[in-house]
Each structure stands twice: as structure tokens, then as C-alpha cells.
Amino acid sequence: MNNRRKLIVALGSSALTAPFGSFAQQQGKVWRVGFLSTRMRPASFDTDIYGGFLQGMRELGYVEGKNLVIDWRFADNKVERLPDLAAELVQLKVDLIVAASPQATRAAQKATTTLPIVFGSGGDPVGSGFVKSLAHPGGNITGLSNLAHDLGPKRLEMLLDMVPRLSRVVLLMNPDNPGHIAVLKNIEPAAAKRNVKILPVKAHTEREIGDALSSMAKEKAQAFLVAQDPLFSQQRRQIAEWAVKNRLPSIYGAREYAEAGGLMSYGPNLADLYRRTATYADKIFKGAKPADLPVEQPTKFELIINGKTAKALGLKIPQSLLISADKVIE
């Protein structure tokens, strides 16, 4: 065989074997994911958003201890810790960062422009500057929006179904959450049509939550909505108990509030949202770029009503809400 033929055979052989060798290498790779959360470390990772994410990864063939390592980072409700935690994950050279709140997404965004970032509850990702558009994110960030800003008017309607004569309703907000301004802007026009005044009350630390709740009396609030936020979620039992004690009807964005004693909640199933973040991780591991993966929206919504709390507040649950409810806690 002359030298020219040897070269052609060698090139052809390498062209055939390279993809298979590359595939085998990918199959044997251990993927490293950084999970950045504003919350405190949970007692168990089998439930809530963490369980949802792990379930989604298992369904796609990624198992901790085998081909998956997860570096968990929790800010313990201290937003100021997020930048350092995000920087730690970048230094660890993780393959991808999952950001579990808008604040976590902001910290990860500032920490890296190259590592892929997937948010599991993006709030208002366009308005917050995380992506250029839902269809074409651009950059290194994509994920799932929880429609937090879009669902405010719907929650107000449900609150008015429960208590029709409301005229002054407080919106509990976290000024550190970049999506909460959009929540307020969306809910105010809907409230005006029903002759309801929305009174924004802000808290961005655990200590300020107590002050915010106390200020509701000064505002002569008749009910309140809680904008979805990890800080408020961590203090959901305190908030729910205060609402019952002060006989104020309330509505929240996630079922965990109603399960903790809140009157009712309406929003996406968060465990399902985080299960779906795993599909983004899988696609990115297989070569897709976040810039080309559209932001998806929730497909599962749930209305949870706490019948015990309604009774304690002297409220009769209207038939329209009972029919719509996914669960009534008795």
C-alpha cells in the first residue's frame, strides 16, 4: 500500500471511530451541578424543589454517586451571601448552575458569563435582565418562569371570591427580589377595576417580616397577598399564624403556605418546575447552548384551600372555589 492510500485509510478510520470514542467518553463522564439556593439547608432533599430536581435527573439517567455530583449551596435567607456562594461554584468548575430564586440567578449571572445557568423559578426573567426574550434567551442563562408577576391578578380575584367586599389589600414584597416590581405593576390595574387599593409593604430580612406584618394594621388592611419569595416561604408558618391571629384573609403563591396554615394558595407546582429543570441540564450536557433553549412556563397549577383556617376566620368557602380547588385541607 503506497503512502497516499495509507493516509486515506487512516483518515477514514479516524473519522469512523472518533464519534464513538467521544460518545463513550461522554457516557462515562461524571457531571457536576452547582445548586444555588437562597433558603436554609433542608432537613431532607427528598421533597420540595430539591426532590423535584433529583427526581427529574434520575428519570433522565443521572444519579448522585454514579454519574452526578451536586454541590449544594444555601444562603440561609441571607441574600448578601449569594455572590460568594456563586463564586465558589464557579471556582469548583461545575458544568452547570441551577439557581433556585431570582436573587440566586442574579448572583450567578454576575459570577459568570460562560458557565450555563438554569433558573427553576425565574419570576420575570426578561424584565429582570436574565434573558433577552423567552423564545431566544441569548447569553448563558435559561430555565423556567413561575409566572409570578402574571398570576397576581388571578390571586386577587380568588381573594375577592372568598371575601367580596375588600377595598384595601396589602401586597407583601421583598425589595431584593427583581421580579416583585412586575408583580406590583401587574396587580394594580386589575385591583383598580375592582375598586381595590393595593398597599405595598416591604421586607427583605427575617426581622423585617415582623415589622411588615405589624404595619398592616396601620394600613388598615382587610386582607393581604404574599409575593412568592424564598424568604417568605421560609417564614410561612409565622406569616400564616399572624394572619389567623389578626383575622386577615390571605393568599400565597405555593401550596406549602396553605399547608402551614395560610388560607389559600394558587400557583405552579414548584416540585414539577424543578423536575423540569433537569431536562435543561440534560440538553446542555448533550451540547445544547442556553442561548438557544427557550424559557418554558408552568403547565401544572394548583389551588389549595385550608378549610380549618377559613373556619377560624369565620369564612364560608364559596362553591366556585371549592369546585376549582385541587385540595381542601380539613
In this model, does residue 69 exceed pLDDT 80? yes
The Cβ of residue 242 has, within 10 Å, a number of other Cβ atoms equal to: 18
Percent of the chain with pLDDT over 70: 91
Q: What is the pLDDT at residue 13? A: 44
Taking only the tens place, the pLDDT of each residue in 79-138 is 899 999 999 999 999 999 999 988 899 999 999 999 999 999 877 888 889 999 999 999
The whole-number pLDDT of residue 17 equals: 40
Burial 182-191 (b: 16+ CB within 10 A, else e): bbeebbbebb
Instruction: Report pLDDT for 15.
Output: 43
Looking at the chain, which runs of residues are DSSP E strands?
Answer: 31-37, 68-74, 96-99, 117-119, 141-143, 168-173, 197-202, 223-226, 250-252, 264-268, 301-306, 327-329
3-state secondary structure at position 156: helix
Q: Is the predicted pLDDT of residue 252 greater than 80, yes or no?
A: yes
Chain centroid to Cα 142, Å, comes to 13
The 10s digit of each residue's pLDDT in 125-169 is 888 899 999 999 999 999 998 766 678 999 999 999 999 999 999
**pLDDT for res 11:** 41
> Across residues 235-264, what is the average pLDDT?
94
* Residue 221: half-sphere exposure toward Cβ, Cα within 13 Å: 25
What would the pLDDT profile of 167-196 be if each residue is shown by its tens digit? 999 999 998 888 888 889 999 999 999 999
Q: Is the pTM of this model over 0.85?
A: no
Walk me through the domains of the chain, giving residue ranges and CATH numbers: 29-146+270-299 (3.40.50.2300), 152-269+302-329 (3.40.50.2300)
pLDDT average, residue stretch 252-271: 93
Q: pLDDT tens-digit profile of 271-303?
A: 899 999 999 999 999 999 999 999 998 888 999
Q: What is the mean pLDDT of the chain?
A: 89
Between residues 22 and 176, the one the model is more confident about: 176
Of 17-21, 35-39, 122-126, 134-138, minimum mean pLDDT range: 17-21
